[in-house]
């Protein structure tokens, strides 16, 4: 049973230079110097020159606005807000001032405040594409995706050549599970600007559309641009996992954690990958790390519990599976694996109870088989046969169900049916000592002593513990 992985990531903020300064003050050389340095991307030099100018003219709203732009470019968003506040209070109440202050609030994760500023900017300039775009981006961050879609549609309609509108709308559509629409927006954005973050999101859309080859290619592009991009390794690992290329998945999970050791989901995903590779002991500390880092959903305890089961740490497995079921009473795997743990405790009635609960959620050949085994142990051979029948309907060549149904038929003396199943079990697996052993016992009662001795000798050669005693009873030579 293979688990589903989920994507977990933070919304990425594009940091372009969006701003235009006010017209130069030709009469003041300090203002002109500051303006020129800003245009040449010397933001710290420009900031110092605007500060010198403001020593002479502290109430110049334009200079305060321009100094706020410098602060934004230097990522000092709080100082940017301070400058924009002063500029607005001194009368610079135009759309750009509110938009610029909104972007500072956006970068400080003050999303509701940012939206208020973007709304003011839009009210002052109808169809203000950038303000509409970043209002949509802020709504994305607040998980108000339906509202974000309306706003970003407006942004695209106001200017069909602004790449960020398509970029952020692709994120909105991703969260609304419109992967085809999101893919189209990523393609439109990339046609306007070749930006590696857009490849990251396009990779997510491709993956959800099961276009794994294209998804891997996009993550390769992102990683080639930024070899330290932990989330790209993390998501590429998920694609490899879904392709059952667990070795590649493990490599990417390792790289993701090496770059960012704080992401609990990366430990959980790496644990799942190690589990699929049969590295149960290695998976254990990663499951523990994920839960210690506050992952506490049902699935996290479920898969740690399953891993404990494979490590034969049955007490720990039982505790985790109980927790998983408490958190999600529709956890099919939780009931199924708890049934397996109970089987190791020889609690067949408990096994049947948990299998009943699992089957009420989903009809699984494994669960029918396990319930049939416990019914057999309780000598309910007819009930066991019924469960093995159901298991075989779902998986017709299921070797174990065929074998155990044959043994159950043997117990209720339906010899021909028993022989047919045991023959088929041996046809599927010619090294099944249990199949030869019971067919040998059956042939004795069908008066085929030579055939019985031959099967029991084969069972003995394959290591069946009871075969030697049966050979002696039959006086086989």
Mind listing the pLDDT tens digit of every residue in the chain (477 residues)? 555 444 333 333 333 345 555 554 456 889 999 999 999 999 999 999 999 999 999 999 999 999 999 999 999 999 999 999 999 999 989 999 999 999 999 999 999 999 999 999 999 999 999 999 999 999 999 999 999 999 999 999 999 999 999 999 999 999 999 999 999 999 999 999 999 999 999 999 999 999 999 999 999 999 999 999 999 999 999 999 999 999 999 999 999 999 999 999 999 999 999 999 999 999 999 999 999 999 999 999 999 999 999 999 999 999 999 999 999 999 999 999 999 999 999 999 999 999 999 999 999 999 999 999 999 999 999 999 999 999 999 999 999 999 999 999 999 999 999 999 999 999 999 999 999 999 999 999 999 999 999 999 999 999 999 999 989 988 887
pLDDT of 8 reads 34
Domains in the chain, CATH or no CATH each: 22-93 (1.25.40.10)
In this prediction, residue 475 carries a pLDDT of 84
pLDDT of residue 288: 98
- For 41, 169, 201, 220, 351, the CA distances from 174, given in Å and listed in that order, are 35, 8, 8, 20, 41
- The sign of the torsion formed by the CA atoms of 62, 66, 67, 72 equals positive
| Predicted pLDDT at 3 | 56
**pLDDT tens-digit map of 98-142:** 999 999 999 999 999 999 999 999 999 999 999 999 999 999 999
């Amino acid at each position: 049973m293979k688990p589903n992985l989920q994507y977990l990531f933070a919304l990425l903020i594009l940091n372009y230079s969006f701003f235009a300064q006010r017209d130069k003050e030709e009469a003041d050389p300090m203002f002109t110097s500051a303006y020129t340095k800003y245009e040449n991307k010397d933001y710290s030099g420009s900031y110092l020159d605007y500060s010198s100018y403001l020593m002479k003219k502290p109430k110049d709203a334009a200079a305060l606005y321009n100094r706020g732009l410098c602060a934004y470019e230097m990522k000092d968003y709080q100082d940017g807000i301070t400058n924009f506040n002063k500029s607005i209070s001194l009368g610079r109440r135009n759309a750009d001032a509110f938009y610029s202050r909104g972007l500072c609030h956006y970068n400080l994760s003050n999303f509701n405040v940012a939206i208020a500023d973007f709304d003011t900017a839009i009210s002052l300039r109808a169809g203000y594409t950038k303000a509409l775009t970043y209002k949509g981006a802020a709504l994305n961050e607040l998980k108000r995706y339906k509202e974000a879609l309306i706003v970003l549609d407006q942004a695209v309609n106001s200017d069909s050549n602004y790449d960020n509108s398509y970029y952020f709308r692709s994120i909105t559509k991703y969260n609304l599970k419109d992967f085809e629409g999101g893919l189209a927006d990523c393609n439109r954005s990339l046609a306007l600007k070749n930006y590696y973050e857009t490849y990251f999101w396009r990779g997510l859309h491709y993956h959800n559309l099961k276009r794994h080859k294209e998804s891997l290619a996009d993550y390769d592009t992102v990683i080639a641009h930024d070899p330290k991009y932990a989330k790209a390794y993390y998501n590429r690992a998920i694609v490899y996992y879904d392709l059952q290329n667990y070795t590649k998945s493990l490599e990417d999970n390792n790289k993701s954690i090496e770059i960012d050791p704080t992401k609990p989901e990366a430990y959980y995903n790496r644990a799942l990958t190690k589990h699929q590779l049969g590295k149960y002991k290695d998976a254990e500390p990663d499951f523990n790390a994920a839960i210690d880092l506050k992952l506490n959903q049902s699935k996290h305890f479920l898969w740690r519990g399953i891993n404990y089961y494979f490590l034969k740490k049955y007490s720990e497995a039982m505790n985790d599976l109980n927790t998983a079921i408490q958190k999600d009473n529709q956890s099919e795997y939780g009931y199924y694996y708890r049934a397996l743990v109970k089987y190791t405790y020889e609690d067949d009635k408990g096994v049947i109870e948990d299998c009943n609960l699992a089957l009420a959620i989903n009809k699984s050949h494994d669960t029918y088989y396990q319930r049939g085994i416990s019914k057999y142990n309780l000598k309910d051979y007819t009930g066991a046969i019924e469960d093995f029948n159901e298991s075989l309907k779902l998986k017709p060549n299921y070797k174990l169900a065929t074998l155990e149904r044959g043994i159950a038929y043997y117990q209720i003396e339906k010899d021909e049916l028993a022989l047919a199943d045991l023959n088929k079990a041996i046809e599927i697996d010619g090294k099944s000592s249990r199949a030869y052993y019971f067919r040998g016992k059956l042939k004795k009662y069908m008066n085929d002593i030579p055939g019985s001795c031959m099967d029991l000798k084969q069972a003995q050669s394959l290591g069946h513990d009871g075969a030697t005693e049966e050979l002696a009873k039959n006086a086989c030579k």
